[in-house]
Amino acid sequence: MCNVPLPVPALPLDGNDVLQIHPMEFLMAVSRTLDLFHPKLVDHHLKVTAISHSLAENLSLDATSHTALLVAAALHDVGALSEQERLAALSFDLADSDSHALAGGELLALFPLFVEPAAIVRDHHRPFDGASDGVPSVPGAAHILALADRIAILLDNTLSLAENARDIRRAIDESAPGRFHPTVLDAFHLSAEDRRFWRMLRSPSLLEDLQSEVRPLPLAFEGANVVAMGQFFSHIVDFQSPFTATHSAGVASVAERLSTLMDFPAGDRSLMRTAGFLHDLGKLAIPEHIIEKPGALTQAEISVMRSHPTHTRTCLSAVGGFEKVTAWAANHHERLDGSGYPNGYTATDLDLGSRVMAVADIFTACAEERPYRSGLPLERVSGILDDLVSHKKLDGDVVATLVEHMDSVDIDRRTAQAEASRTYETFRARTAT
Ligand SMILES: [Fe+2]
Ligand SMILES: [Fe+2]
Ligand SMILES: [Fe+2]
């Protein structure tokens, strides 16, 4: 471990309120959410992060590189957008020219604070011999991630711990010469000698254990960077599907405008924007064949789809300081009369922020352009919202505020979604093969 605990940065928002979270804690939680996508992934990102952490400690990596490595590990396969790509990445002999590494690097590079992790992700399937940096005696973080990733895919809880550890050591040692950096291999042998290393990877509290381990690592975020991180993750979620590539940007804009019009304290307006960016984070756990299914969903598929706010809640609630963001983001499909999902909450359970988010989500979904249809005219949207108020599903004050300022709120929404669309097109162009 880096044994000098650094203070968790206090994050002032609009000079008024203070949001205190540790971004690394958030990243570990996202890492677990990514792997709910398919049972075969069994905490792959989380385990790769834990293994990377152990190897980095053995190598006494400096704190900045250590942090960049863990950010990269937590998100390393995020560029594998389809189920097929995600599962292909679990093959031990994956080709080095893998496109998901390139796409993942491009995604991470969208966030200026993740430029270093982006380079690590881009190279995480490059064999050591093919490293562009020649034969460095000190391994780069990508070399550590490359080995951690391959160790993780060989983990098998159906075998005894000792048997699985022995098989993994053998498979790694028998890999093609030059595939892994020799110094990183030495670091792995050191970890592999210790039974605690293997036990840790089977621990049911791996997320919590890792979160407390990474808290001392520095990740310098100030003020608006928390909101910017939320925006970055909205791209990760939205770019999974061209149908919704800018949806969260629209929801964040509308939610923030409504919170301003309704006189929320300045700090809460930034939290509302952050919650808007993150409201569909749980969709990372939903297979894309369900998200993108052209026809009607089966009953089973509907229930999987409707689990996404639960995943949003589970992920965000693991982050200290995100209590309001968690509630506002995760309650966006709840309705005041109890007819919403996933929890069937009623008016007494839903605070004003949750009510704002529900209205922002519906307004954006109705008004935004989709590849297969135009946005609805504002008069129609207003009629739909009024109807939902009369059926006691949405808050009347929130809807009245929106209707009163609908033109200007919609202009801001369009601007925010146009900006997200440009980012999406840039990402698509850079990853086109
Ligand atoms: Fe990968
Ligand atoms: Fe991987
Ligand atoms: Fe949603």
Beta bridge partners of 11: 19
State the distance from the centre of ligand 3 to the C-alpha of 279, rounded, in angstroms. Answer: 7
Contact 420, 251 (CB under 8 A): no
d(CA 119, CA 329): 31
84-89 long-range contacts, CB within 8 A, separation 24+: 86/37, 86/38, 86/41, 87/38, 87/40
Q: Based on the number of CB atoms within 10 Å of its own CB, is 13 exposed (0-12), middle (13-18) or buried (19 or more)?
A: buried
What is the per-residue pLDDT for 12?
45
Report domain extents, the chain: 23-214, 225-431
The residues, ordered by sequence, that sit 6+ positions from 176 with a Cβ below 8 Å of its Cβ are 127
State the distance from the centre of ligand 1 to the C-alpha of 420, rounded, in angstroms. Answer: 26
Q: What is the Cα gyration radius of the chain? A: 22
State the distance from the centre of ligand 3 to the C-alpha of 400, rounded, in angstroms. Answer: 22
CATH number for the 225-431 domain, one of 1.10.3210.10, 2.70.70.10, 1.20.1730.10, 3.40.50.1950? 1.10.3210.10
- Tell me the ligand closest to 308's alpha carbon: 3
Residues near ion ligand 2 (Cβ under 5 Å):
77, 89, 149
State the distance from the centre of ligand 1 to the C-alpha of 315, rounded, in angstroms. Answer: 22
Whether the upstream peptide bond of residue 342 has omega within 30° of 0, thus cis, is yes
- Tell me the ligand closest to 40's alpha carbon: 2
E strand intervals along 53-116: none
d(CA 265, CA 283): 29
- Tell me the ligand closest to 90's alpha carbon: 2
What is the per-residue pLDDT for 38?
75
State the distance from the centre of ligand 3 to the C-alpha of 170, rounded, in angstroms. Answer: 45
Tens of each residue's pLDDT in the chain, 433 residues: 333 233 334 444 454 455 667 888 888 888 888 888 777 778 899 999 999 999 999 999 988 899 999 999 999 998 887 777 777 766 666 654 578 899 999 999 988 888 999 999 998 888 776 454 555 555 689 999 999 999 999 999 999 999 999 999 999 998 877 788 888 999 999 999 999 999 999 999 998 898 888 877 776 555 567 888 899 999 988 888 877 889 999 999 999 999 999 999 988 998 999 999 999 999 998 988 888 887 888 999 999 999 999 999 999 998 888 899 999 999 999 999 999 999 999 999 999 999 999 999 999 999 998 777 789 999 999 999 999 999 999 999 999 999 999 999 999 999 999 999 999 988 888 887 6
- Whether 23-214 and 225-431 share one fold: the answer is yes
State the distance from the centre of ligand 1 to the C-alpha of 77, rounded, in angstroms. Answer: 5
State the distance from the centre of ligand 1 to the C-alpha of 167, rounded, in angstroms. Answer: 21
What is the per-residue pLDDT for 145?
95
The secondary structure of 365-405 as a DSSP string is: HHHS-BTTBPPPPHHHHHHHHHHHHHTTSS-HHHHHHHHHT
State the distance from the centre of ligand 1 to the C-alpha of 175, rounded, in angstroms. Answer: 17
State the distance from the centre of ligand 3 to the C-alpha of 135, rounded, in angstroms. Answer: 47
- Tell me the ligand closest to 99's alpha carbon: 1
State the distance from the centre of ligand 3 to the C-alpha of 354, rounded, in angstroms. Answer: 13
State the distance from the centre of ligand 2 to the C-alpha of 21, rounded, in angstroms. Answer: 27
d(CA 115, CA 136): 21
Q: CA nearest 356: which of 269, 418, 295? A: 269
State the distance from the centre of ligand 3 to the C-alpha of 280, rounded, in angstroms. Answer: 5
State the distance from the centre of ligand 1 to the C-alpha of 423, rounded, in angstroms. Answer: 23
Q: CA nearest 256: which of 266, 246, 247? A: 266
State the distance from the centre of ligand 1 to the C-alpha of 29, rounded, in angstroms. Answer: 19
- Tell me the ligand closest to 361's alpha carbon: 3
C-alpha dihedral, 327 to 42 to 173 to 142, nearest 10°: -30
The mean predicted confidence, pLDDT, of the chain is 87
Contact 109, 118 (CB under 8 A): yes
State the distance from the centre of ligand 2 to the C-alpha of 50, rounded, in angstroms. Answer: 13
State the distance from the centre of ligand 2 to the C-alpha of 146, rounded, in angstroms. Answer: 8
State the distance from the centre of ligand 1 to the C-alpha of 12, rounded, in angstroms. Answer: 36
State the distance from the centre of ligand 1 to the C-alpha of 107, rounded, in angstroms. Answer: 14
For the chain, first and last CA: distance in Å? 41
CATH class of residue range 23-214: mainly alpha
d(CA 255, CA 257): 6
What is the per-residue pLDDT for 72?
95
State the distance from the centre of ligand 2 to the C-alpha of 432, rounded, in angstroms. Answer: 21
d(CA 34, CA 46): 9
pTM of the entire predicted model:
0.88
What is the per-residue pLDDT for 58?
94
What is the per-residue pLDDT for 98?
73
Per-residue DSSP letter, 163? H
Per-residue DSSP letter, 296? P
Contact 55, 191 (CB under 8 A): yes
- Tell me the ligand closest to 41's alpha carbon: 2
